[in-house]
Amino acid sequence: MYIMDVPGWGLWTLIILVLAVAQMPAFIVLLPVIIYVFSVTATIPAVIFTIWSLLVGLSDNILKPLLLGRGMETPTLVILLGAIGGMILFGILGLFVGSIILALGYELFMAWLDRENAQELSNNK
């Protein structure tokens, strides 16, 4: 958006970041921006911007689930709630810290439940 000289590109980018945290598609913001770019620039740069925007939006939908849960058995909902709660409480840094803390808490709780179940099974034998 900066290269295409879209007015308020920083604000649009911030809105896309908030939508990404809320697990919503970036196309909600990019569609009006694409329409604006087509109305004020030549066709070839507007088409290149549209293709780039579509690739970025689609890659977000593909890469986010792969990278968020990589190597973990924690449900995505737990990570999402941690990210949103951390963002509300601590800002951008909380986006990462919140999801880590909630995921660790979830894993500890599940390990505690498994330990109790294992003890009950061994006592019954």
Same domain, 58 and 3: yes
Same domain, 99 and 125: yes
Among 20, 44, 64, where does a domain finish?
64
Token pair listed for 11: 């604000």
pLDDT tens digit string along 63-102? Answer: 766 666 566 678 878 888 888 888 888 887 887 888 889 8
Same domain, 3 and 59: yes
The larger pLDDT score, comparing residue 120 to residue 17, is at 17
Distance of CA 75 to the CA centre of its chain: 14
Contacts of 6 (CB under 8 A, 6+ apart): 12, 33, 36, 37
Q: What is the pTM (predicted TM-score) of this model?
A: 0.55
Same domain, 25 and 83: no
**Domain extent for 77:** 69-125
Contacts of 38 (CB under 8 A, 6+ apart): 46, 50
Please tell me the predicted confidence (pLDDT) of residue 26: 82
Residue with tokens 């507007």: 46
The number of domains in the chain is 2
Same domain, 106 and 80: yes
pLDDT tens digit string along 17-36? Answer: 888 777 778 888 889 999 99
